[in-house]
Structure 1
Amino acid sequence: MADRRSGHLDSWHGTTILGVKKGGRTVIAGDGQVSLGNTIIKPNAKKVRRLGEYDKVIGGFAGATADAFTLFERLERKLEQYQGQLMRAAVELAKDWRTDKYLRNLEAMMIVADAGSMLILTGTGDVLEPEAEDGNAIAAIGSGGNYALAAARALAEYEPDPEKLARRAMAIAAEVCVFTNDRLTVETVGPGE
């Protein structure tokens, strides 16, 4: 991930965020590693959290931390404005993110979810809902996202519990991706949370 503004190849790495929607529950898990080049800067960053006053929305981010926190704050305001309707709030945030001169420069991606939906939000104005089979869906972003996604898809048929599935898939990603570690933050929405 090269820094587009300065042209430097050294940039902040070390995020893997995985979302698993299964059995009426949605889990978002994120690792804790932040790296600069080949150096681990922080092993226990918290990149997953609950959002908004409704406490029924969870999210995880990949990218620049300050940028992601700015976007989380904006999403929380949109959730408040639209009474906790995640899809509406996400679409409105994506519009702002794409068109606002300041927000356009923010470099982050997010996976956000409530009990009904899971979405990937990007700075290009995308609000993507992962393909769901039988109401189940899996999404991943970040440096180790493809590893976590592949592991979760392989395990999905065998593990009914979405949190166990997410934790195991993240452990596999941590074993193969040097920018991912096993210090997880996990949040869940849905029945039994």
Structure 2
Amino acid sequence: MRKFTVHRGVAAPLLRVNVDTDAIIPSREMKLVSKQGLGEGLFAGWRYTAPGGREPDSCFVLNRPEYSGASILLSGRNFGCGSSREHAVWALAEYGIRAIIAPSFGVIFQGNCERNGILPVVLDDSAVQAIAGEVEADPQGSEVEIDLEQQRVISPGGHTYSFDIAPSSRQMLLQGLDQIGSTLCRLEEIEAFEEGLRQRRPWLFEL
């Protein structure tokens, strides 16, 4: 997956609470056996005027020209609640979303983001609202910067907000590694342990 160190981009305010994974990608949009093509179904129930259709709803934030190319989402509490479908994160990633800033996340969704290269940033509601207010006047000229190394968000007006993230999740994102990739970084230690075990208990390896 892509490394996340410092990202600067257009931030789109989707300031709704309890945005669940079925809203992020409805089940009718999950017809593929791969991650490719899911971005088209992102927020399909809100983004298009009719179920299953592809006529854009001009009122939806991601369809508005001033938020074209948005790579950061600003949202309300409990973003990504509901089912554990990883397709929701895959759809966000394929669309181009690199980070989501919200007061809280669904626990499983948050972990899925971290394992797929999307940074979930937890800031209190007042901070999210303040950033959205700064962005609104000129979204294309008011980019938000997120620095994972320093664990801070810098608003268009220069206000800085610190955020917390688990050290293991931070390291995975900085290195661009999922859990398997992180484990394989310790391959030499794993192989040494296996060899030692083979010497101490050879009967375990008999076929």
TM-score above 0.5, yes or no: no
Q: Which has the greater radius of gyration? A: 2
Higher strand proportion, which one?
A: 1
- More RCO (CA 8 Å, sep 6+): 1
**TM-score when normalising by structure 1:** 0.31
More helix by share: 2
